[in-house]
Structures are given as C-alpha cells and as structure tokens.
Amino acid sequence: MNEDTKIPLHLEETIQHLPFSATLAMNELIAEKEKSGKQKILHMGFGEAALPLHPLLKNALVESAAYTKYAPVLGLPELRQAIAGFLSRTRKITVNANQIVVGPGSKSMLYALFRIFEGDALIPAPSWVSYAPAVRMAGKKVVYVQTDSKDNHRLTTENLNKALKKAKEEGADPRILIINSPHCPVGVMFEPVDVKMIAEWAKKHNMALISDEIYAELAFGWRKHVSPAVYYPEGTIITGGISKTLSAGGWRLGYACLPDTPAGKKAIKAMQAIGSEIWASAASPIQKAAVVAFAPNASIDHYLHQAALLFGYTTTKMYQIFKDLGVPCPRPAGGFYLYPDFAPWRPVLLKRGVRTGKELSQYLLDDWGIASVPAPEFGEDPHTLRIRLSTNKLCEPEKGTSAKKREEFLWNLLHTVENKDFNPDLPVLKFAQERWTKVILNLNEKTKQ
C-alpha cells in the first residue's frame, strides 16, 4: 500500500485529478493581480452577466424575504408552472409544470442529469469547462466530439459518427449527448438545419440529448434560437436559468425540463431523489421571486431584448476589431464570448516559449495584462492556440466609478441600445481595442524580424 493512502482524508481517485474550475480559478487570479496594482488588467477571463437587476425581480425578492420554509424538492409549483409557460412561449413546444425541475443553478441540474442517465457522454470539443468534470464526477467516461475550427466548430453527422465509432473502439458506451447554443466558448449558434440534424442523429442512436440553453435569450438577432426539443421531444432535456439572461448568477437558480413521457417521469423522480439528498431545494425566497422572471411580462421581455442587443453590440464590435487586425475568429451570434485563433503567429510565439494554449493565456496575462481562458480548458488539444474571451465587461464604465453611477451608466446603455444611432463612449471597449492592437502589431513586427 502506498504510504500516502494511510493518511486520514485520502482523496478518491477521480477527485484527486479534478481541478478547480478554470474560469473560477482565472477570476481569483485576476483579483489577486488587480490587488497588486502593477498593471491595468483587461478582464476577459470570466463570463458573468452583471447588468443591473430588473427592478421587478429586486422588489419580488424583498417581498419574499420572509418566506423561510423549505420549498418542495422539485421546486415551487408556481415557479415550475411559470417556467413551463415560458418554455412553451419561447421554444415552440408544449411543456407542463410536471416536466420541470428547479435547482440551485443549472450547473447542479447538469450534474444530476449526468448522474441519473445510463451510459457515457459525448461532449463537443470545444465546449463549456464544466461538462467534462461533471460527467467524470458522475462516474462516466467523457468522449469528445472533435470539431473543426475552419467550420466554426459545427457539429456534423461526420464528426458525431466519428466520435461514436472511436468511443466504441475504446470500450465506451455513449448514451448522452450534450449541446449548447448560443455556444460557450465559441459564441456561435447552431443553424436551424444543424439543430434538426443533431436531434435526428441523437434519436437514431437512442441518446439522451441535453440541450444547454442558458444563453438562448441572448441571441443577437441575426440567427434564431431553435431548440432540438422541437424535433426530438421524447429524448431532449432542456436546461437553463437566470444567471446569464437576467444577470442573476448569484441567485443560483436553474432548471431542467424533461420529456413528457413515462421515461421522462421516471427521470424526474430520479432528479427528485438526488435533489432530496443533496440540495433539498433551491433557496425558497429566490424561487418565489424568480416567478417574475418567467411569467409573461412585457417589461422583462424588453429587458431581455435590450440585454441581448447590448451584448451583441460590444461582442460584435470586438469581433470586428479582431477581423480588422487579421485574427481568425468565428462570427458571434449570441451570448458574450469570442474564440479567436492565434495559430497564424505560432512561429513567433514559439520563439517566446509559447507552445500551448495555456502558455498563450499566461503570456497574454503576464506581458499584456489580458485575462483569458485557453482552449485546452474546453477540451481542445493542449497545443491549440485559441482562447476564450468574455466580452461581458466591455460595456462597463471606467474603473473606480461608484456603484450608483455604474448602475446609471448601464441602465442608460440598456435604454438607448435600440436607437439607430447607438454609438456610446465605452471606455473598456476602447481599452480592449488599444491593447489588442498593440499585441497584434507587436506579434506582426516580431514575425518580420
């Protein structure tokens, strides 16, 4: 027996290798760097929507503060009803309250889903940092579906078939496929034909299709969000929440919508059993207040639209800056991410000792004060020179602005974003443009030497 295993509190094998979530780790690293005050940091490492909270939600939470009882494990009936109504209105599907499970964030819902369903999981590469660890924590194998950067990381029948074949050769048994649109980290959205193809592929292979739709209401407008549940209602599970769309990540409120079938009902019971032993219920006052987020309300709908336009404005501007600088980057369609590729500068980066995505991110942070998350964290090959940039902070006012003034600044942006001549002075966006221009010009210069 290894000496180490005799120590009390010895960690279980899978957990020993489970790293701290890359995005949260980056956030903490930046906080430290900023505290040291040595360099002004361009914070593009952490994807957190932080627009001002809608006043209806704020008031609803104040009113529900005294609701201190445990809520039912599956969620408050009125909230489950409101979410079912919301999905029926926005996804062109018919959903009833019994299909909904509410929990503390959709992250916990995703873990529970990976835990309850049989088989291993197919995960696109790249995809959100937390899918693979959640699958592994649920005791399953991760099978990556390799996508092509030249094809904007689309899922195709070819790359899905290839992943399935490889999985079987390696002794894995994938029975779950997870997809995400608008996409984190790439920022793209599925074309409707691709959604149909993916749904039909999952159906043909008898897979549970988990559709992470947390950014769905943040589509910028040039591409429509389509849920695969339209084509494969009996096998699709939709997950979502209010963290991104309503800038309420800290409320920790998410949901899963399971199929209205006998198998779906069994799955709901399994979710209830897991929930009853882990989180008991999402916080009751938050659930009560969140009814407002999903019930039909013109003011909330308008806020969602404005938030999508604002993120669309800043993300598209940043995309254009990269395009003008000659940096390959997929055109963003929703959410608040960009996924630029620095492969054209590989030789010059190599001269600086940058061989991997992780080293690229470190170089950008150390030499240029730019925070990012490298491609390998999203399941890509370690040598991939792509990074995820979060654009959510590009609409922030100057650092040091008081909380009150910051809120006014952001409300003003939300209220004017629909104007034809919307062209605000955005200091962080300007700073991002300046700094990225310096980075690329420097790399170009060094390439010539």
Binding site for ligand PLP (CB under 6 A): 47, 105-107, 128, 180, 184, 212, 214, 241, 243, 249, 254
Quickly list H helices, 295-426: 298-325, 346-351, 357-368, 403-416
Q: State which residue, 180 or 281, has the beta carbon closest to ligand PLP.
A: 180
Quickly list H helices, 45-184: 55-64, 77-91, 106-116, 131-137, 157-169
Q: State which residue, 64 or 180, has the beta carbon closest to ligand PLP.
A: 180
Asked if residue 135 lies in contact with residue 174, where contact means CB atoms within 8 angstroms, the answer is: no
| Minimal distance, residue 77 CB to ligand PLP, in Å | 21
Q: State which residue, 172 or 271, has the beta carbon closest to ligand PLP.
A: 271
Name the DSSP class of 240.
E
Quickly list H helices, 187-261: 192-204
Q: State which residue, 113 or 329, has the beta carbon closest to ligand PLP.
A: 113
Distance CA 116, CA 361 (A): 36
| Minimal distance, residue 126 CB to ligand PLP, in Å | 11
374 sits in which H/E element:
strand 373-374
| Minimal distance, residue 220 CB to ligand PLP, in Å | 17
Q: State which residue, 106 or 159, has the beta carbon closest to ligand PLP.
A: 106
Q: State which residue, 112 or 116, has the beta carbon closest to ligand PLP.
A: 112
| Minimal distance, residue 8 CB to ligand PLP, in Å | 33
| Minimal distance, residue 213 CB to ligand PLP, in Å | 9
Number of other CB atoms surrounding residue 130 within 10 Å: 17
Phi-psi region of 9 (alpha: psi -120 to 50; beta: other; left: phi over 0): left
DSSP 3-state of 248: coil
**Residue 371: strand pairing partners:** 43
Q: State which residue, 180 or 287, has the beta carbon closest to ligand PLP.
A: 180
**Amino acid in position 256:** A
| Minimal distance, residue 290 CB to ligand PLP, in Å | 12
Q: State which residue, 282 or 348, has the beta carbon closest to ligand PLP.
A: 282
Distance CA 12, CA 32 (A): 30
370 sits in which H/E element:
strand 370-371
| Minimal distance, residue 106 CB to ligand PLP, in Å | 3
Strand extents, DSSP E, 116-232? 120-125, 142-146, 174-180, 208-212
Q: State which residue, 338 or 439, has the beta carbon closest to ligand PLP.
A: 338
Residues with Cβ < 8 Å from 31, sequence gap 6 or more?
none
**Amino acid in position 418:** E
Peptide bond into 182 cis (omega under 30): yes
Q: State which residue, 105 or 259, has the beta carbon closest to ligand PLP.
A: 105
Phi-psi region of 400 (alpha: psi -120 to 50; beta: other; left: phi over 0): left
**Amino acid in position 128:** W
| Minimal distance, residue 232 CB to ligand PLP, in Å | 20
| Minimal distance, residue 251 CB to ligand PLP, in Å | 9
Residue 145 φ then ψ, to 5°: -100, 110
Chain position whose Cβ is nearest to ligand PLP: 105
| Minimal distance, residue 368 CB to ligand PLP, in Å | 25
As a dihedral over the C-alpha atoms of residue 446, residue 447, residue 448, residue 449, rounded to 10 degrees, the angle is: 50
